[in-house]
A and B are shown apart, each in its own frame.
Chain A
Amino acid sequence: MNVAEALLVFAGIPLAIVVVLALLTLKPGANRRPRYKPGQAWDHAPIWYEPHPAHAPAAGHGGETHAIGSSVYGERHGSDAAATHAVSAGQPHSGGGSTAHAARPAGPLGGARGTW
């Protein structure tokens, strides 16, 4: 066994194993988004998630169905219907539909607050 062979066996093979293991370790997480860690800054735009409406108003019925089970909330018309479908990203707009929403006071508000 000359020097070249010795280098190949005792340096090349371990190096190859290390490279293979490193690739197997790093590759699956290469395109993963950074996980949120408590205390780090949150520099994403605000986003507001809403549930799907119970049943989207069916086309062709004119939104006048009153069948039992057709909708928990009743069907919405006009800007309210649009408001139930839109997922508001970013700062919610203050004009338009919000004035209609503000017409009905929510009464005494409850809830809870927590920090971590």
Chain B
Amino acid sequence: MTRALEVDSHDTATATTGAARTDEGGSVDEVFSYRELARLDEALTMSSRETGLRFTLYVGELRKPTRTHAEELHARSGPDASDAVLIAVSPGQRVVEVVTGAGAGRRLPDRACALAVLSMTSSFANGDLVGGVVNGLRQLSDQAGHPASLRH
């Protein structure tokens, strides 16, 4: 192993150790700007904290049939998939899937999800991905309300 050290690296990565997370692939803000990432982060975190459900957002290609792939993703979206809500957006296929687990589904009926999806798709059709997701999360968390354990 007599390769030269990687001089572009921003950390202590050598020829025999892995690169740091920041050196892998593209930059963090490749898809969304930092401002948009901050909005997404706040919306996901606040929705999850207010409702006690776990909202996650997947942005990328979905295998066909997209519903099956979204449900597979939902199954591994967290340690407690029953209370997880997955929003899977595939801008290339122009599909958005909302998947709720059994526990989350009691507080988020399919009709409420369909309403949130409707508001999301109308934003997506205007090219506003982040705004649509933030509005959809707001609707979903408003519908779900606070869990009994968080009521005072």
Using a CB–CB cutoff of 8 Å, the interface residues on chain A facing chain B are 33, 35-39, 41-52, 54, 72-73, 76, 80, 83-84, 89-90, 92, 97-98, 100-102, 104-116
Contacts and interface: CB of A to CB of B under 8 A. Distances in A.
B31 A44 contact: yes
A51 B82 CA distance: 16
30 contacts: A33-B33, A38-B91, A41-B92, A42-B91, A42-B92, A44-B60, A46-B60, A50-B44, A51-B45, A52-B41, A52-B45, A54-B48, A72-B52, A84-B79, A90-B25, A100-B79, A101-B79, A106-B84, A106-B102, A107-B82, A107-B101, A110-B104, A110-B105, A112-B97, A112-B113, A113-B95, A114-B95, A114-B96, A114-B114, A115-B121
A46 B61 contact: yes
A44 to B, nearest CB: 5
Nearest to A86: B21
B116 interface: yes
B81 interface: yes
A116 B82 contact: no
Interface string B25-41: 10000110100000011
Interface residues of B, number: 71
B63 to A, nearest CB: 11
Q: Which 6 A-B pairs have the closest CB atoms?
A: A46-B60, A107-B102, A42-B92, A110-B105, A112-B113, A106-B81
B59 A49 contact: yes
Contacts of A54: 48-49
B98 interface: yes
A108 B54 contact: no
Given A48-B60, A51-B48, 15 more contacts: A38-B125, A39-B94, A47-B60, A51-B55, A54-B49, A72-B49, A73-B54, A101-B76, A101-B78, A104-B81, A105-B81, A111-B85, A112-B114, A114-B117, A116-B94
